[in-house]
Structure 1
Amino acid sequence: MDEQTKKIILDIARKSIEAAVKQKPRPTFSTDHANLQGRQGVFVTLKTCGQLRGCIGRFVSDMPLYQSVSEMAISSATEDPRFEFNRIKPSELNHLEIEISVLSPLKLIDNPLDFELGKQGVFIKKGLHVGCFLPQVATETGWSKEEFLSHCCASKAGLPANAWKQKDVEIYTFTTEIIEEKK
């Protein structure tokens, strides 16, 4: 995405978050920008002083990207269950760091180790158990591929850590385009 598109998408995210945190009406957005019309998956990650404050997304969308960004930004700020008792406060807004990950389509892989660590994220599925890690999690943690998959199974999908080795577990990969504010 070009810089203008990135600026638009970050502005939509920030205005959506600010309205939600201040309990004001949800803003409405409209844009004809071609890069924001696609039906793509997106995750919005929020941090304050480098500490995670929310991260929610979806892999597929039935709405244009700019609307999905608004929805996921609001959800990240107000619905992440990890922060149920510690939601983002209006006093944090000036320090809030926004990172938007625009996702490629999911690709099912046969070999669980057949992905590029730090470049591709994983989505793991077994029955109703699902979990995912964005590609940047590997970079932030320094995990090996095996650790990346094991942590995703155990901490995200609610499966045993070694479940990724089982034949009935589906593993998908995806890439992201990361858009973040320059602070």
Structure 2
Amino acid sequence: MISDKSGEYLVKLAKNAIKQYLETGEKITKDENYPIELDEKLGVFVTLNKNNNLRGCIGYAEPIMSAIEATIDVAIAAAVNDPRFPQVTLDELENIDLEVTVLTKPEIIPVAHYSQYFDEIEIGKDGLIIQKGYSRGLLLPQVATENKFNVENFLEHTCIKAGISADSWMDESCDVYKFQGQIFK
């Protein structure tokens, strides 16, 4: 994964990216002195919280672009494109806490029977992606901890996020992936 210094850099970058976009409508460019390890392609999510309530969360689960470019993109998207919330305003930005989660590449959890998920998923460490057909849902590792989910609750809520029935994770046609995340605030 990445160093703490790089993680702190991403948090500042995310806040600056949102601020510049809200002020000018333009995307920030990376400066020359960024940590070089952020050129690595990594999955990244940016979560916005206001008064300990979710205010926006968007990300890339797959490593499709460099961590630095992904952070800029998803920070802006979390502030202005999360369909669950109105666009963040410049005035409200100072009261928003930012969290950047850098992800490992998601890996399918191979099981012969769904009961094996209980041994393969570690609450507080693993995030989940559940896919059935074209439906796909993702929950970050911290969601299980924050909501005091056990493994079964975590699987059910990831299914609900995918828009499928809560027990779909037991279905052989459903793929369950896990990943880990480094959280920076």
Q: Which residue of 1 aligns with 2:84?
A: 82
Structure 1 residue 10, shift from structure 2 partner: 1.6
Q: Does the 8 Å contact 1:20/1:77 carry over to 2?
A: no
Give the whole-Å Cα distance in 2 for the aligned partners of 1:3 and 1:61.
Answer: 19
Structure 1 residue 172, shift from structure 2 partner: 0.2
Please give the TM-score of this superposition, normalised by the length of structure 1. Answer: 0.91
Q: Does the 8 Å contact 1:112/1:164 carry over to 2?
A: no
Identity of aligned residues (%): 33
Q: Which residue of 2 aligns with 1:102?
A: 102
Does 1:18 pair with 2:23? no
Deviations 1:41-69 (A, max 9, x none): 01100011111110001122332111110
Q: Which residue of 2 aligns with 1:170?
A: 175
Q: Which residue of 2 aligns with 1:128?
A: 134
Instruction: Output the amino acid matched with 1:62.
Output: I
Q: Which residue of 2 aligns with 1:67?
A: 69
Tell me the number of residue pairs that the alignment of Structure 1 and Structure 2 aligns: 177
Give the whole-Å Cα distance in 1 for the aligned partners of 2:144 and 2:123.
Answer: 6
Counterpart among 118, 125, 128 of residue 124 in structure 2: 118
Q: Kindly tell me: are residues 142 and 70 of structure 1, through their superposed partners in 2, closer, same or farther at Cα, counting changes over 3 Å?
A: same
Q: Which residue of 2 aligns with 1:8?
A: 9
Deviations 1:14-33 (A, max 9, x none): 11111223343221114452
Q: Does the 8 Å contact 1:20/1:78 carry over to 2?
A: no
Name segments (4+ residues, structure 1) moved above 6 Å.
none
Which segments of 5 or more consecutive residues in structure 2 lack a partner in the other structure? none
Which segments of 5 or more consecutive residues in structure 1 lack a partner in the other structure? none
Deviations 1:57-103 (A, max 9, x none): 112233211111000100100111111xx221111111110100000
Instruction: Output the amino acid matched with 1:160.
Output: S
